[in-house]
Amino acid sequence: MAGSVVSLDNPVFASYAAYAGLASMKMMGMSLVTAYHRLTKNVFMNAEDTSFGTKAVVRTDNPDIERVRRLHRNDLENIPPFLVVGFLYVLTKPSPDVAVWHYRAFLSCRLLHTACYLGGLQPWRAIFFFAGFATTVSMAVQVVAKGAL
Q: Binding to its own copies by residue 6, rule CB under 8 A?
A: yes
- On whether the CB atoms of residues 112 and 81 are closer than 8 A, the answer is no
Q: Binding to its own copies by residue 136, rule CB under 8 A?
A: yes
Bridge-based pairing of strands 43-44 and 57-58 is parallel
β-bridge mates for residue 99, sequence order: none
E strand spans, the chain: 43-44, 57-58
Q: For its own copies, which residue of 19, 99, 102, 113 counts as binding (CB under 8 A)?
A: 19
Q: For its own copies, which residue of 37, 65, 68, 72 counts as binding (CB under 8 A)?
A: 72
- On whether the CB atoms of residues 12 and 96 are closer than 8 A, the answer is yes
∠38-42-43 over CA atoms, to 5°? 65
Q: Binding to its own copies by residue 8, rule CB under 8 A?
A: yes
Q: Binding to its own copies by residue 57, rule CB under 8 A?
A: no
Binding site for its own copies (CB under 8 A): 1, 4-8, 11, 13-22, 24-25, 27-28, 30-31, 45-49, 51-52, 67, 70, 72, 76-81, 83-85, 87-88, 91-92, 117, 120-123, 125-126, 133, 136-137, 140-141, 143-144, 146-149
